[in-house]
Amino acid sequence: MAKKKRSKRQSIRNSDFFNEPLYGMDLNFKSDDARTAGPTESDEVDQHGEEDLSEVLARALKHSGREERETHGFHTYPAGMHPDCAADIIAACPGAVHDPFCGGGTVLVEGILANRPTSGTDIAPIALLVAATRTAPMSMATPLRAAARRVTEYAKQPIEVAVPEEVVSWYEPHVAQELGRLRDGILKEDPAVHSLLRTVFSSILIKTSFRDSDTSSRRTPTQRPPGTTLTLFHKKARLLGRALECMPQDLPEATLKYGDARVKTAPSMVDLILTSPPYPGVYDYLPMQQLRYAWLGLNPGRGYIKEIGSRRAFRAKERGEALKTWQADTTSWVATQAGTLNPNGRMAIVVGDGLVAGRVVDTLYPTIEAMEAAGLTIIARVSTDRPDHARNTTRTEHIIMGERQG
Ligand SMILES: C[S@@+](CC[C@H](N)C(=O)[O-])C[C@H]1O[C@@H](n2cnc3c(N)ncnc32)[C@H](O)[C@@H]1O
């Protein structure tokens, strides 16, 4: 039977998201401030299904605000799951964990912190880079700091370097030169620390640019005194070093693979699939990282075509047609992933309503249908409204848990 819980209403931190950014929501902050916009505090939570589990899910959905423990929050990733939401759900479900839309790796960090075999996939190269760094062993902290010091020293030399053509107009010339020298200095380091250094480098690329944020391509020209880009890089490397040192010793390694969730599964059978797929029509995850691709020499290739529920797909097609595609994609990835669940294994999907041309797109029932079609029994689900005052609308966010019968 459905029941309602009340919690104190708080101001909605992200209420002014929507002011015509090119890509997705505008979070109105410079992403490299190491801030992650957490969900807003839930007002009411509708609970259905098994009482104990729906209590867990309701608590998970209510977590709000920024959480920067361990490596969480080091490099922003849009629409990240709240770390405590992931932690609560993992604690309630024993066994191996997989996230087929792992993004910046929140679920993976919580999976290894809970000492579980943990794996994840994504089609975004930046997601894989960030997730790998956030799950790196604490033993990397010292080599990272030493390498970052050398890279910063190297980049102080007045050498003229090449800057990718695509990024030139987004930076003051001296800032682009400092970034170019950092990039070149990283290449001189031991490959074992490359991906950590590249993540640190990636984490400063928006803050030092004229771009407003990861999710908004609006330009706001800023002025950075010479040398401060190098200082920022070094400071961020020390921050990451400290964050890695906060991770316990001897954690399991997370397995990370590039892969389309409709096809690619965990390397072996798992007990919990915990994920947050793209909400329909809200973000363009791959194009929003173009500055980073250019600096890091990454090519998302066919990822652009494989992205599910993108904002651009909803703009390009008639709404009904785009919805059908999103539903077919949802049915497909849920079926693929359900195939790797052990008997009594569970799938928990955190998904929110989409927003297309100012109209809300329901995600609850299509997701339930996809889970049932994949042979899962819905054992608990919770929903809460997230008011969007700027658009004078309300979107609902859900956690739906299905179980494979033993
Ligand atoms: C909501 S984000 C996940 C955020 C993640 N839970 C976190 O806490 O950082 C959705 C992710 O789905 C990825 N994605 C989109 N289409 C995909 C597909 N077909 N297969 C795998 N990943 C996909 C995007 O690149 C993005 O990283």
For the segment 346-383, what is each residue's pLDDT rounded down to a tens digit? 999 999 999 888 888 999 999 999 999 999 999 999 99
- Mean pLDDT within 106-126: 98
Strand partners for 97: 118, 272
- Residue 387 is predicted with a pLDDT of 81
Inter-residue contact 308 to 278 (CB < 8 Å):
yes
Cβ–ligand 1 distance for 21 under 6 Å, the answer: no
Question: What is the percent of the chain where pLDDT is above 70?
Answer: 89
Inter-residue contact 344 to 95 (CB < 8 Å):
no
- Mean pLDDT within 113-120: 98
Residue nearest to atom 20 of ligand 1 (CA): 260
- Mean pLDDT within 314-328: 91
Q: Which is the closest atom of ligand 1 to the Cα of 329?
A: 19
pLDDT of 38 over the 50 cut: no
Is 295 domain-assigned? Answer: no
Q: Retrieve residue 186's tokens.
A: 């990283």
Regarding whether 271 and 227 lie in a shared domain, the answer is no
Give the domain extent around 347: 3-128+255-288+301-404
Question: What is the percent of the chain where pLDDT is above 90?
Answer: 77
- Residue 15 is predicted with a pLDDT of 23
Cβ–ligand 1 distance for 260 under 6 Å, the answer: yes
Regarding whether 144 and 124 lie in a shared domain, the answer is no
End-to-end CA distance of the chain: 25
Q: Where are the alpha helices (DSSP H) in 216-282?
A: 228-245
Inter-residue contact 326 to 362 (CB < 8 Å):
no
Regarding whether 259 and 241 lie in a shared domain, the answer is no
Residue nearest to atom 12 of ligand 1 (CA): 101
Q: Where are the alpha helices (DSSP H) in 93-227?
A: 106-113, 125-134, 141-155, 173-187, 191-203
The residue among 139 and 11 whose pLDDT is bigger is: 139
- Mean pLDDT within 256-281: 97
- Mean pLDDT within 59-65: 92
Q: Retrieve residue 179's tokens.
A: 């970034």
- Mean pLDDT within 305-315: 93
- Residue 79 is predicted with a pLDDT of 86
Which residues contact residue 131 at a Cβ distance below 8 angstroms, ignoring those fewer than 6 apart?
102, 103, 104, 105, 108, 120, 122, 254, 256
C-alpha to C-alpha distance for 194 and 192, rounded to whole angstroms? 6
Is 250 domain-assigned? Answer: no
- Residue 43 is predicted with a pLDDT of 65
The CB density around residue 51, as the number of other CB atoms within 10 Å, is 11
Cβ–ligand 1 distance for 124 under 6 Å, the answer: yes
Please state whether beta strands 3-6 and 44-49 pair in parallel, antiparallel, or not at all (unpaired). Answer: antiparallel
Ligand 1 centroid from CA 349, angstroms: 12
Regarding whether 229 and 145 lie in a shared domain, the answer is yes
Mind listing the pLDDT tens digit for each residue in 13-32?
A: 222 222 222 222 233 334 44
Ligand 1 centroid from CA 166, angstroms: 25
C-alpha to C-alpha distance for 399 and 395, rounded to whole angstroms? 14
Read out DSSP for 64-89? -S---STTTTSS--TTPPPHHHHHHH
Regarding whether 335 and 308 lie in a shared domain, the answer is yes
Ligand 1 centroid from CA 321, angstroms: 22
Regarding whether 167 and 103 lie in a shared domain, the answer is no
Number of separate domains in the chain: 2
Cβ–ligand 1 distance for 261 under 6 Å, the answer: yes
- Residue 380 is predicted with a pLDDT of 98
Regarding whether 310 and 166 lie in a shared domain, the answer is no
- Residue 317 is predicted with a pLDDT of 84
Q: Which of 83-92, 126-135, 349-358 has the lowest mean pLDDT?
A: 349-358
Q: Retrieve residue 303's tokens.
A: 């990822």
Regarding whether 228 and 360 lie in a shared domain, the answer is no
Which residues contact residue 155 at a Cβ distance below 8 angstroms, ignoring those fewer than 6 apart?
178, 181, 182, 184, 185, 230, 233
Angle at 26 (CA atoms; ends 69, 361), nearest 5 degrees:
100
Is 209 domain-assigned? Answer: yes
- Residue 33 is predicted with a pLDDT of 38
C-alpha to C-alpha distance for 1 and 121, rounded to whole angstroms? 36
Regarding whether 230 and 307 lie in a shared domain, the answer is no
Cβ–ligand 1 distance for 397 under 6 Å, the answer: no
Three-class SS state of 25: coil
- Residue 40 is predicted with a pLDDT of 55
- Residue 66 is predicted with a pLDDT of 82
Q: Retrieve residue 278's tokens.
A: 């793209």
- Mean pLDDT within 203-229: 94
Q: What CATH number does residue 369 fall under?
A: 3.40.50.150
pLDDT of 251 over the 50 cut: yes
- Residue 331 is predicted with a pLDDT of 98
Which residues contact residue 345 at a Cβ distance below 8 angstroms, ignoring those fewer than 6 apart?
95, 269, 270, 271, 272, 273, 403, 404
Q: Name the residue among 164, 137, 331 with its Cα closest to residue 249.
A: 137
Q: Is 165 exposed, middle or buried (0-12, 13-18, 19+ CB in 10 A)?
A: exposed
Inter-residue contact 185 to 253 (CB < 8 Å):
no
Is 293 domain-assigned? Answer: no
Regarding whether 111 and 9 lie in a shared domain, the answer is yes
C-alpha to C-alpha distance for 92 and 405, rounded to whole angstroms? 17
Cβ–ligand 1 distance for 74 under 6 Å, the answer: no
pLDDT of 384 over the 60 cut: yes
C-alpha to C-alpha distance for 294 and 290, rounded to whole angstroms? 6
Ligand 1 centroid from CA 47, angstroms: 26
Regarding whether 189 and 152 lie in a shared domain, the answer is yes
Ligand 1 centroid from CA 286, angstroms: 10
- Residue 356 is predicted with a pLDDT of 85
Is 338 domain-assigned? Answer: yes
Ligand 1 centroid from CA 326, angstroms: 14
The CB density around residue 184, as the number of other CB atoms within 10 Å, is 15
Q: Which is the closest atom of ligand 1 to the Cα of 121?
A: 21
- Residue 395 is predicted with a pLDDT of 87
Q: How distant, in Å, are the alpha carbons of 78, 173, 175, 221, 245 from that of 208?
A: 18, 11, 7, 10, 27
Q: Retrieve residue 213's tokens.
A: 């944020």
Ligand 1 centroid from CA 122, angstroms: 6
pLDDT of 42 over the 70 cut: no
Mind listing the pLDDT tens digit for each residue in 279-291?
A: 999 899 999 999 9
Mind listing the pLDDT tens digit for each residue in 184-214?
A: 999 999 999 999 999 999 999 999 999 999 8
Q: What share of the chain is helix, strand, coil (3-state, %, to 5)?
A: 40, 20, 40
Ligand 1 centroid from CA 156, angstroms: 37
Which residues contact residue 105 at a Cβ distance below 8 angstroms, ignoring those fewer than 6 apart?
77, 120, 127, 130, 131, 132, 134, 135, 254, 256
Residue of 90, 109, 285, 286 to test ligand 1 pocket, by largest number of atoms within 8 Å of CB:
285
pLDDT of 404 over the 60 cut: yes
Cβ–ligand 1 distance for 308 under 6 Å, the answer: yes
Is 133 domain-assigned? Answer: no
| Residue entry with tokens 């800023």 | 222
Regarding whether 283 and 236 lie in a shared domain, the answer is no
Mean pLDDT over the full length of the chain:
88
